[in-house]
Each structure stands twice: as structure tokens, then as C-alpha cells.
Amino acid sequence: MINRLRGRRTSALVYVIWGYIIWSLVPVIIAVIYSFNDGRSRTVWQGFSFRWWWQDPNASVFQSSEMRNAIINSLVLAVATLLVVTPLGIALAIGTQRITGRGTNLVQGLTSAPLITPEIVVGAALLITFTRLFTAVPLGFTAQLLGNVTFSLSSVVVIVRARLVSIGPSFEEAARDLGATRWQALRFVLLPMLWPSVMASLVVVFATVIDDFIITSFLSAGVSSETVPLRIYSSVRGGATPALNALATLLVLTSFTVLIVGLFGLSTWRKRHGERGGMRAALADVTRMSS
Amino acid sequence: MRRAPRLWTLFALPGTTWLIALFAIPFYAVACVAFGTIDPIFRDAVPQWNPMSWDFTQASQTLASLTSGPLRGVAIRTVVYVFCAMVISFMIGFPIAYFLARHSGKRKLLFLALIIVPFWVNYLMRMLAWVNLLSSDGLFTRFMRLFGVNYNWLDGSPITVVLGLVYGYVPFLILPLYATLERLDWRLIDAARDLGANSRQAFRLVTMPMSKAGLVAAGILIALPMFGDYYTNDLLSRSPSTEMLGNQIDFFLNASSQPQNGALLVIVLSIFLLVLMSFYLRSTRQQARQTTR
Amino acid sequence: MQRRDFLRKLAITTGGITVGGSLLAACGGGSSTTSDGLSIGTPQNPIKLPVSTDPIADGLANESGTLEILNWADYMNPESIAAFETKFGVKISTSIYDTEEAAVAKLRNGTFKPDVILGMTDTGLAKLIAADILQPLNKSYIPNFGNVISGLRNPYYDLESQYTVPYFLYGNGIGYRTDVIDKSAFAQNGYEVLWDTKYKGRLAVLDSYRDTLAMAIFRNGGNDANSSDPDEIKKAGEALIEMREAVNPKVDILGYQEIPAGNRDIQFLWSGDMFTAVQYLPEGVDPGVLGFWYPETTVTKNDFMCITKAAKSPVLAHQLINFLSDTDNALLNREYVGYQPALETITVDMLLASETIPESLVDALVTPEKYEIGLAQVTLEPEVDALWLEQWTAFTAG
């Protein structure tokens, strides 16, 4: 198919897109650079140093106990959420795709609803629920875990379901023709083929939970359940040093590392299992929105 | 499969139970707090678990406050901010998505990757970056002073808040827009051009109508979280003159002794968004039906 | 009456102050001792709070592990924290609250579960008692209680100090940059400065409905910090809205950072904040740029320390209170926090002699005279409280 865009318009739009990319990324890059600032300011450059990363004994990211706690809390919460939401989401995706009968639409609606609900509504509802109804659930890590699983469940379902659709029923049917039970077909044929979507959802959920602010904030219980985004938020309003920039940079680095590892894992898996697509398909898997 | 084997129902059961317990029931809890009574000593909410005994006096007071009372300003302001942010986001996002969809060069993957990067940068960090740049001795402020613009960006400015919303949510607009535009059947546009339409006419009469449903869906996709946003305002302004509905909900639920007001506002917000969501669902169904490649 | 005792003792130490007859008039509006279950104490009707549990036994050993504190931001010196941690071999973990209402709400719904609460005032005390959140103190662990200003050892809000030990003293006033605003601006009706459009976008008020609404009442000419007059309250709310339209104020408790940083020129805040502000001045800036106007009609009070009923380390909690009531520890604490500890041994003269008080901030010190004329701020009856909150919401909702 011939690209019919005229040369003039093409070059104008290229500037627009580069302009956007610069506007989008440069502030963040500047923030990262200032994390290496020697002085207390986040706005005036005073020389290069690792002071806020590990040198300063009280306020640097690696030596400040509050910041370390925030980092640990973030990682633990993200991993715990992954462990719960992944099997739950896979089962839900498989189940909702294949059930029939009355109530199917309702269940599918229920599964998709969290995707289009603003986080503040979910956070507020869960806060009220845990303080008034399910009072056995303490606020803090437990509540944050339950809240994040609830919020990420639908993303997992979307990712896995897309893969299910593209796989189709033929493989399982072939297995059943050869004598396997439904459960055996599932376990030995379908689940292995779902692996890329599992990887994609691990990446997406990890990044979502580690970046999550509203739900984690509404359900927190003081400093013991503070995650990195909460720490950043409470510090911006008072007493912020470049350590904040460093903490935020660390967060971004973590997300990116997980993303890149996931992308490489995905495209390697695809190559090894003879599916086409490479990096672009991996990207598509990972950025699957409700589009 | 004629009748769904019980295996699949068993599979769907844990997830569905979870969602009922932690997604559906919480909405009921919100309603019970919103339509409950008030403890006379602490002025705290006393939830009413029996829907038959729900008390709507508080609700009508809140509604009155939203339409003609103190909360009217917040409600109007929130709608205005979100609308402005959406318009600006489209003005920025649509050309980019269009370019990405049509450009089939080697650079496409690079552009896609660079556009996706903000997704993976924490929203707070992106706002923090701007807080640094916009503070009184920040780089951006100093830059603008060179042009004689001596503006206090962080002192309760609606412009800053709206632009902050744009900066935060534009990446979430570009991808769905790109997905919509990529799925269009460009042969139809080529056909229009072959039939004599110039590029502007082809755009107006073919591209736009075909992508309208997807555009609406993408717009609503970012409007929904924007309506509930409160931390953008908190980080960039923190002045009552830019207070948004999300700030009020956050205040009542987290910093006051009157969670029932927060619960009521959550319900009002949810109903408002349900209306928007129904538009969204209609648009996605329309979009799925439209001609795709 | 508590204030008179306090003044008398201070008069002896600092010499020559007349106790004015304005004392009675300046005391907050009287209200009943119990109402709807809230035990509200006022200077005219002091109250002995109900006790539902026994204090901990004498002579228990200190717990180990972590002591959980609930405190305002920057309201305890990290060096003091470190000193306590070293002395008792424990760790301290601090959760922060931004407003008293938020703290009370979160303590009630279980979000916060600290051992010790620092910086609470009596406007929150009644609700904490009614919600049965605090435990009575065992003073045998707090020998330094004798250091507390004698007039505050038997406060009206907690006769016999069953639950509380005073922490810091402060008064409400206006902090400002002397390089932008001259002292003479406050000569007429000082509060009016906050409504002056000259300071648009460079002004802030406290995120505390009791303090800021009361300030509006004073600006309107009233003198009741605990007003239950719906008209007076409403006019105060309208005055605040007028201020919002005129000067677009910020509403927070960060004046102690923003004023020295140069991001704002003037804020209605607590007097101790301006001393904290000295540390946040950029390098080489003279503390003379910080000024404070202490109004004649204003609230002057103290906050306190208390221990929760569900505290996991109550003995340690008592130890912390005792630790902070020691003169040297309190002085060290003050170096960071800036506020005046409510200890008899730390007098205004002593502070002035220590030469740590910038000339421009001498007005921010709470002297016995200021305490005399200062108004008390007590818990409001729930219906009245609702009126105040209504006006405050109208103001903050923009």
C-alpha cells in the first residue's frame, strides 16, 4: 500500500512528534539529572555527586530508613499482588471466555468494569468497606494487597483473553480428539501456549502496582505501609531534597528493567516457538489497552 | 460446546467471587454510608445496611450543595478543567496518532517505543519533574523570565493544573487513538482520492467519520480518570481556587470526620461517569462494527 | 484558674508583671462539662476526664523493638529521636498527620495505631476520650513532670493531667518576609493585611478550620475563639471567601518552609513555625528577613503528649514523654522544632539570653503577658462544630 501522505505534511508532523517526545521526556530526564545534585536544591545545579543516592548518612535513598522501607514495601506489595492476581486472572479469563448461559454477560461486565472505573472510586469504596463492613481486614499492607489485586485483575483478564482468542479452540480440540480429557488438554496444551500473555501480564501488573498511588494511599495505615509513590507525594509537599528525585528515578529504573526483561523474554519465547512478530508483537502484547 | 462444562464455571468462580466481594459489594457499602445516619457526638457516618431504611436527607443536601451551594464551584470547575484538558490533549494527541498510524517507515517502532515510555514512568515522577521546573527558581520559570513572562506557576493557577492534566494523560490518549487509526481501512481513503477528493476533503469526509467512534471512546477513556484526579491539583497548586471534585472526596474520606460526604460525592461522581461510560460502550460497539482491514 | 496560676509563677521568675483583669474576659466561652457524651473542659469549667481503665502498673521493664509515634511533620528533632533510640536501644517509627481532624478520624477508624501521640491539642482531646482511644498516665514513669510549667500541670481540659503532658507553647499570628512587608502594615487592623490584594498569590493561611475561622472572627471584630453564634460564624466564613477571591491564598501548614524559601510572603500560622523557618533559609540569608506579628486578639495555647490505650509499648511511651520533659532534651528538641517547650525551666529570658532568637522574631515568643491576653480554644459542641465545618468547607471548596 502506497503511503499517500504528501512530503510537506510529513515533515511538519515529524517535527510535531519529535516536539511531543521532547516535551514528554525532557522534564523527567532533567529530574533524573538533578538527583545527582550536590546541594539541597532540586532546581539550582550545585555540582555532581552521589550524595542523595548513598553518601548522605541520613537523607540519601539507601541510607534513609524511611526511603528504604518505602522501597521494600513497594517491591513486596508488587510481588505479592503478582502472586495472587496472576492465577486468579488466568482462571477468570479462561472461565469467562468459555461459559455460556444466563449471567455470562453479567460476569463479563463485572470483569471489565474495574477497567473503566476511576481509581478514586475504587479506592474510596474499598476504604469504606474495610473500615465499616469487612472490618477484620486491617488497613495497611493487607488492604493494599487486596485493593491492588482487585484493580489489576481486569488487566490480566484482558491480556490473557486476547491471547486465548488468537490461539483459538483448535489445539485443545485436537488434543481431545487424541484422547485427552478437558483438563489434560488445558494443562498440557493451552496453558503452555498462554505463557507469553502470562509474561505480559506479569510485566503490566508489576508496573501498575509499583506505580500505584490512589488505592495504595487510601488504604495505607501510616508510615509502615508507605510505598515509594506515597513517600514521593508526602515529601513533595514538604522537606524535599534531591533524594526524592533519586527515589523516583529508582522507581522508573525498576519498571523499565522489568519491562525490558519482559519484552526480551516475550520475543525470545516467540522465536523459539515459531510465532512471528518479534519486538513489535511483544510491544503490542504489553500495551494492550481496551482498544 | 453445547453446554458449558462445569470446569469452566469452576474456573470463573474464584475471580468472580473476588470481584463481587471486593468490587461490587464496596459500592453497596458506599451507598450504606452515604444514605445512613450521623452519629450525634462525632458527626461520623453510621452506615444503614438495610436499603429499606436508607435516609436520603444528606443526599439531597449534597445535591443541593452541588447544584447551587458551596460545591457548585467545584463541580463546574472540574467539568471545565477536564473539558479543556481533553480538548488540548486531542489537539496534541491526534496529529501524533495520525502520523504514527500512517507512517510506515523504519522509524515507526522507534517512535512507538518513545511514545510508550511515559507509560512506564510513574505519574508522580512526571508531575514532580514539572514541580521542580515550575518552582520560583525552576528552569522553566527562569526560561520564561527571559521572555518577560514573570508568572507564578505554582501559586494556584488553573493554567498549570489544566496543563498538568494534559501532560499526565496525553500518553493514555495517544495509544488508543493510534489503535483506532491503524485499524482504518486506508483503501477507502485512497479510493476517495482516486475519485477526485483532495487530501483535506478525504480527511473530513472519510477519515473522520470512520474514526469518530474510536475517538469518542479514547476521549472518554482519559476523561474518566481525569474526573477523579486529585493529586495533580495537590502537587501543582494546592489552592482552594483550583479545587477539584477528587480533592473534596479525598478530603472528606481521609482528612475529615465526615466520610458520609465523601461517600455521597463518590456516588454522584459514579453516576455521572456511568452516563459517560454508556457512551463509551456504545462507541466501542460501533467501532467494532465499522469496516476494518 | 489555670492561666492565673501560670502567670503568677512566671511573674516570680521573670519579675514584675501585673495580672490583668482582662483575664476573665479573655477566657473562652463557657460550656457545659459534658454534652452528648463529649467531656469538654473550658477555663471557666475545667473538667476531670472520665477514666475507664487503670494506668499501667509501676516498675515495669521497658519494652524492646519499635516505638510508634504519631506526630506533626518536623515536630521532633531527628537528633532527639536518635538520642532516645540509643538510650533505650529501640527504634522509633513516626507517622505524620497534617490536621488534627484527620488524626482523630484516622485514630478512630484504625488507620493509625501509634503508641504515643505528640502535638495533639484539647480540641481533639474530647473526641479521643469519648472514643476511648487514650490510656491514663502513670506518673511514676514521668519524674520530669515536675519541670512542666506549674500553671499547666493541672490544665482545664484535663484536671490532674490524667492523660496528657504539655509539649509546646504557641500562639496564632502572621509570619511574613520583612523584606517585602514592613512592620507598620500591621499597625492598624493587623489581620486586614491578609485581605490586601497587594499580596495576591503570595499569601497563605493555616489548614486548620478552628484557627483560621477564628482569625476571621477576630478580623471582623469579634473576640470569641469558640463562638457558637451562627451569625458570627457565617460572617467569618464569608470573610474568608472574600479573602479567597481577593488574594487567592494557599491553605496548608508549610509556611515554615515556603516563607524562607521565598515562595510566599505572608501566612497566618503558629508562632513556633517562624523559628522553624530559620533553618530553612537558603545559605547566607539573614534571619532578619523573617518577621512575626503577634496579634492582641488571638489564640494562645499549648499542645500535649498522650498515650493510646492500644499501645504495644506503653512503658517506652511513658519514657518518651519523660525524655522530652527533661530540660536539656527539650532544648535540643527545640533547636530543630523551633517552638517553645512548655517547661518552667525554659523561660523567655533564658531563650533571649541564649542568643538563638533573631531580633526580628522576638515578637513570636510566648511571654506571660501574651499568654494572659491570649484566648483559649476549646472543643466545640457537635452542633456548633458542624456550623464551623460548614463554613470551612465552603471556603476550601473554592
Best CA proximity match to A79, nearest among A288, A264, A258, A278: A258
Is residue C152 domain-shared with residue C18, that is, in the same domain? Answer: yes
Which pLDDT score is estimated for B184? 80
- φ, ψ for residue C316 (rounded to 5)? -60, -40
Contact at CB, C397 and B254, closer than 8 angstroms: no
Asked whether residue A9 carries a pLDDT value surpassing 60, the answer given is no
Which pLDDT score is estimated for A130? 94
Which pLDDT score is estimated for C27? 38
Tens digit of pLDDT for each residue in C73-107? 999 999 999 999 999 999 999 999 989 999 999 99
Which pLDDT score is estimated for C34? 46
Separation of alpha carbons C398 and A284, rounded Å: 43
Give the mean pLDDT of B75-98: 93
- φ, ψ for residue B257 (rounded to 5)? -95, 15
Q: Across the interface, which of A89, A186, A255 has its CB nearest the CB of B120?
A: A255
Which pLDDT score is estimated for B3? 53
Q: What is the CA radius of gyration of chain C?
A: 20
What CATH number should be reported for the domain holding residue C97? 3.40.190.10
In the block, residue with C-alpha cell 512503658: C315
C-alpha cell at C314: 506503653
Tens digit of pLDDT for each residue in C238-295? 999 999 999 999 999 999 998 998 888 999 999 999 999 998 888 889 999 999 999 9
| CA B104-B107-B109 angle, 5° bins | 85
Is residue C102 domain-shared with residue C203, that is, in the same domain? Answer: no
Tens digit of pLDDT for each residue in C212-243? 999 999 999 999 999 999 999 999 999 999 99
For B242-261, give one letter per residue: b (16+ CB within 10 A) or e. Answer: bbbbbbbbbbbbbbbbbbbb
Please state the separation of Cα C226 from the chain's center in Å: 16
Contact at CB, B18 and A88, closer than 8 angstroms: yes
Give the mean pLDDT of B56-77: 88
The alpha carbon of residue B254 is apart from the nearest alpha carbon of chain C, in Å, by: 7
Which pLDDT score is estimated for B77? 94
Domain containing C335 equals 3-169+301-373
Is residue C43 domain-shared with residue C120, that is, in the same domain? Answer: yes
Contact at CB, C93 and A221, closer than 8 angstroms: no
Which pLDDT score is estimated for C9? 44
Judged by average pLDDT, the poorest of A10-14, B130-134, B181-185, B260-264 is A10-14
Question: pLDDT > 90: what percent of chain A?
Answer: 35
Give the mean pLDDT of A44-70: 84
Which pLDDT score is estimated for A288? 53
Tens digit of pLDDT for each residue in C316-334? 999 999 999 999 999 999 9
Contact at CB, A237 and B14, closer than 8 angstroms: no
Tens digit of pLDDT for each residue in A176-193? 888 888 888 888 888 888
Judged by average pLDDT, the poorest of B62-66, C272-276, C292-296, C309-313 is B62-66
The alpha carbon of residue C111 is apart from the nearest alpha carbon of chain A, in Å, by: 5
Contact at CB, A131 and C74, closer than 8 angstroms: no
Q: Chain C: residue nearest B65 by CA?
A: C394
Which pLDDT score is estimated for A50? 86
Which pLDDT score is estimated for A282? 61
Q: Chain A: residue nearest C261 by CA?
A: A41
Contact at CB, A222 and C73, closer than 8 angstroms: no
Tell me which residues of chain B, numbers 30 to 59, contact chain C at a CB-CB cutoff of 8 Å.
40-44
Q: In this structure, are residues C337 and C187 in contact, taking their beta carbons and an 8 Å threshold?
A: no
Residues of C whose CB is below 8 A from B154? 263
> For A277, left (φ over 0), alpha (ψ -120 to 50), or beta?
left
Is residue C206 domain-shared with residue C163, that is, in the same domain? Answer: no
Residues of C whose CB is below 8 A from B41? 36-38, 127, 130, 382
Judged by average pLDDT, the poorest of A260-269, B70-79, B181-190, C179-188 is B181-190
Q: Across the interface, which of A58, A221, A238 has its CB nearest the CB of C78?
A: A58
Q: Chain A: residue nearest C107 by CA?
A: A221
Which pLDDT score is estimated for A281? 62
Is residue C157 domain-shared with residue C8, that is, in the same domain? Answer: yes
Q: How many domains does chain C have?
A: 2
Which pLDDT score is estimated for C302? 94
Is residue C203 domain-shared with residue C193, that is, in the same domain? Answer: yes
Higher-confidence residue of B191 and C306: namely C306
The alpha carbon of residue B255 is apart from the nearest alpha carbon of chain C, in Å, by: 4
The alpha carbon of residue A67 is apart from the nearest alpha carbon of chain B, in Å, by: 15
Maximum average pLDDT range among A131-145, B32-46, B128-142, B204-218: A131-145
Q: Which subunits sit against A, judged by 3+ Cβ pairs under 8 A?
A: B, C
The alpha carbon of residue A186 is apart from the nearest alpha carbon of chain C, in Å, by: 44
The alpha carbon of residue A254 is apart from the nearest alpha carbon of chain C, in Å, by: 26
Is residue C242 domain-shared with residue C334, that is, in the same domain? Answer: no
Residues of C whose CB is below 8 A from A220? 111
Is residue C135 domain-shared with residue C272, that is, in the same domain? Answer: no
Give the mean pLDDT of C152-160: 93
Higher-confidence residue of A240 and C171: namely C171
Contact at CB, C110 and A224, closer than 8 angstroms: no
Q: Across the interface, which of B98, B180, B277 has its CB nearest the CB of A291?
A: B180
Judged by average pLDDT, the poorest of A71-80, B109-118, C318-327, C383-392 is B109-118
Which pLDDT score is estimated for C143? 95
Which pLDDT score is estimated for C310? 93
Is residue C236 domain-shared with residue C335, that is, in the same domain? Answer: no
Judged by average pLDDT, the poorest of A268-272, B25-29, B264-268, C203-207 is A268-272
Best CA proximity match to B6, nearest among A99, C204, A133: A99
Judged by average pLDDT, the poorest of A198-202, B243-247, C19-23 is C19-23
What spatial distance separates the first Cα and last Cα of chain A, rounded to whole Å? Answer: 24
Which pLDDT score is estimated for C364? 92
Which pLDDT score is estimated for B82? 95
Q: Environment class of residue B196 by beta-carbon count within 10 Å: exposed (0-12), middle (13-18) or buried (19+)?
A: exposed
Q: In this structure, are residues C47 and C129 in contact, taking their beta carbons and an 8 Å threshold?
A: no
Q: Across the interface, which of A139, A224, A234 has its CB nearest the CB of C96?
A: A234
Give the mean pLDDT of A21-26: 91
pTM comes to 0.88
Contact at CB, A223 and C111, closer than 8 angstroms: no
Q: What is the mean pLDDT of chain B?
A: 86
Q: What is the mean pLDDT of chain C?
A: 88
Which pLDDT score is estimated for A1? 43
Residues of A whose CB is below 8 A from B125? 28, 31, 232, 248-249, 251-252
Asked whether residue A31 carries a pLDDT value surpassing 50, the answer given is yes
Is residue C323 domain-shared with residue C283, that is, in the same domain? Answer: no
Residues of C whose CB is below 8 A from A131? 109-111
Q: Bridge-partner residues for A123, per DSSP?
A: none
Q: Can you tell me whether residue C251 is helix, strand or coil? A: strand
Is residue C206 domain-shared with residue C57, that is, in the same domain? Answer: no
Asked whether residue B124 carries a pLDDT value surpassing 60, the answer given is yes
Tens digit of pLDDT for each residue in C381-396? 988 998 999 999 899 9
pLDDT band of A265, cuts 50, 70, 90? confident
Residues of C whose CB is below 8 A from A237? 252, 254
Is residue C391 domain-shared with residue C306, that is, in the same domain? Answer: no
Which pLDDT score is estimated for B104? 63
Q: Which subunits sit against B, judged by 3+ Cβ pairs under 8 A?
A: A, C
Best CA proximity match to C275, nearest among C161, C362, C188: C362
Which pLDDT score is estimated for A187? 83
Which pLDDT score is estimated for C395? 93
Which pLDDT score is estimated for C21? 28
Q: Quote ipTM for the complex.
A: 0.88
